[in-house]
Amino acid sequence: MADGASDATRDDLLRVENLTMRFGGLVAVDKLSFTARRGDITAIIGPNGAGKTTFFNCITGFYKPTEGRVALAHGSQAAFEALPAATFGGKQWSKAEGAGAVFLLERMPGFEIARLARVARTFQNIRLFAGMTLLENLLVAQHTVLNAASGYTIGGLLGLASFKRAEAEAIDKAAYWLREIGLIDRADDPAGDLPYGAQRRLEIARAMCTDPVLLCLDEPAAGLNPRESAELNALLLKIREEHALSILLIEHDMGVVMQISDRIAVLDYGQKIAGGTPEEIRADPRVIAAYLGVPDDEVEDVEAEVGL
């Protein structure tokens, strides 16, 4: 799916510079620099423990990185021009909304990242609100809109018309996503009762209900059977086409990665060891070495070969 022709129209969405995350003596992410382009599906692959999920946690506000900058631009990459001023001005963003806003994600609390920077994510070990219904899960994801429309609940309690309208719209949107993932019949069941594959789809739908510009998926195909992972591919491609969205994808299932990603970044020991289109990555000896491992005495040979 590498699409070289549209390179010119695909500018930078996310720029990660020198990102480092230390846990005591362990360096999980080590001076990682990384760029994701607007409209791309960018896959992040690497062996277990390479720092992929830590990287996601730093982007989405779960962790505060030890060092480094994570900048996200709305609109176009021209927004990055405001980045130095925001960085040295000690700000969290250049402006809170609209095109041309740039966000310093590493400085923002998690809920602001979801609300203003509009980054959404899913988890390797699914984190639905298991005790709430499918519909409620998708409505919580629209909390920002509903809360503002309800005048921070007071209007909602009084039953204002504007709130009723906002709520009806939120329910329509939730119903749309429930149909997209084929779970509309189970809208009022508790999310915890769904089978595993359906929970994964619901988690993606919930992330989409927050209206993201960047969707981060942490191993969405894990535990899915081949038919389900084919459905997932189709769903992700459709989402990308229809909702003007960029996707970051951590995945071990190479079938998924090679079929749907535009670009792939390979992490190992917290560093980016390779990046490029699926074809380039498939042929890259560094990637093969990282995945298959090489005996110690061959490391130097491999390094010499790949020019490290």
Partner 1 sequence: MDYFAQQLINGLTLGSIYGLIAIGYTMVYGIVGMINFAHGEVFMIGAFIALIAILSLFALGITAVPLALLLALVIAMALTGLWGWAIERLAYRPLRNSFRLAPLITAIGMSIALQTFVALTQGARSKPLPPVIRGGFTLSEGDSGFAVSLSYMQIIIIVTTVAVMAAFSYLINSTSLGRAQRACEQDRKMAALCGVNVDRTISLTFVIGAALASVAGLMFLAYYGVIDFFVGFVAGIKAFTAAVLGGIGSLPGAMLGGLLIGLIEVFWAGYFTAQYKDVAAFSILAIVLIFMPSGLLGRPEVEKV
Cβ closer to partner 1: 34 or 56? 56
Cβ closer to partner 1: 62 or 269? 62
Binding partner 1 (rule: CB under 8 A), the pick from 39, 46, 51, 61 is 61
Q: Which of residues 150-179 bind partner 1 (CB under 8 A)?
A: 150, 152-153, 156-157
Distance of alpha carbon 257 from alpha carbon 69, whole angstroms: 27
Smallest separation (angstroms) from partner 1 to the CB of 122? 9
Q: With contacts defined by CB under 8 A, how many residues of the chain interact with partner 1?
A: 33
CA Rg value for the chain = 20
Cβ closer to partner 1: 144 or 259? 144
Cβ closer to partner 1: 97 or 303? 97
DSSP string, the chain: ---GGGGGG--EEEEEEEEEEEETTEEEEEEEEEEEETT-EEEEE-STTSSHHHHHHHHTTSS--SEEEEEEESSSGGGGGGHHHHHHTT-SBSSSSSTT-EEEGGGS-HHHIIIII-EEE--SS----TTSBHHHHHHHTTHHHHHHHTTTTHHHHHT-HHHHHHHHHHHHHHHHHHHHTT-GGGTTSBGGGS-HHHHHHHHHHHHHHT--SEEEEESTTTT--HHHHHHHHHHHHHHHHHTT-EEEEE-S-HHHHHHH-SEEEEEETTEEEEEE-HHHHHH-HHHHHHHH---HHHHHHHHHHHT-
Q: By CB under 8 A, tell whether 111 contacts partner 1.
A: yes
* Nearest alpha carbon to residue 289 among 272, 275, 306: 306
Smallest separation (angstroms) from partner 1 to the CB of 115? 4
Cβ closer to partner 1: 12 or 167? 167
Determine the distance from the C-alpha atom of residue 169 to the mean position of all C-alpha atoms in its chain, rounded to a whole number: 25
Q: By CB under 8 A, tell whether 188 contacts partner 1.
A: no
* Nearest alpha carbon to residue 289 among 48, 51, 49, 47: 47
Smallest separation (angstroms) from partner 1 to the CB of 107? 15
Smallest separation (angstroms) from partner 1 to the CB of 247? 16
Q: By CB under 8 A, tell whether 53 contacts partner 1.
A: no
Cβ closer to partner 1: 79 or 128? 128
Smallest separation (angstroms) from partner 1 to the CB of 140? 4
Q: Which range of residues in 14-22, 28-36, 127-135, 174-182 is near partner 1 by CB under 8 A?
A: 127-135
Q: Which of residues 192-251 bind partner 1 (CB under 8 A)?
A: 206, 210
Q: By CB under 8 A, tell whether 272 contacts partner 1.
A: no
The interface mask with partner 1, positions 70-109, x = CB under 8 A, is: ---------------------------------------x
Q: By CB under 8 A, tell whether 139 contacts partner 1.
A: yes
- Output the six-digit token pair for 105: 């994600």
Q: Which residues bind partner 1 (CB under 8 A)?
A: 60-62, 109-111, 113-115, 120-121, 123, 125, 127, 129-132, 136, 139-141, 143-144, 146-147, 150, 152-153, 156-157, 206, 210
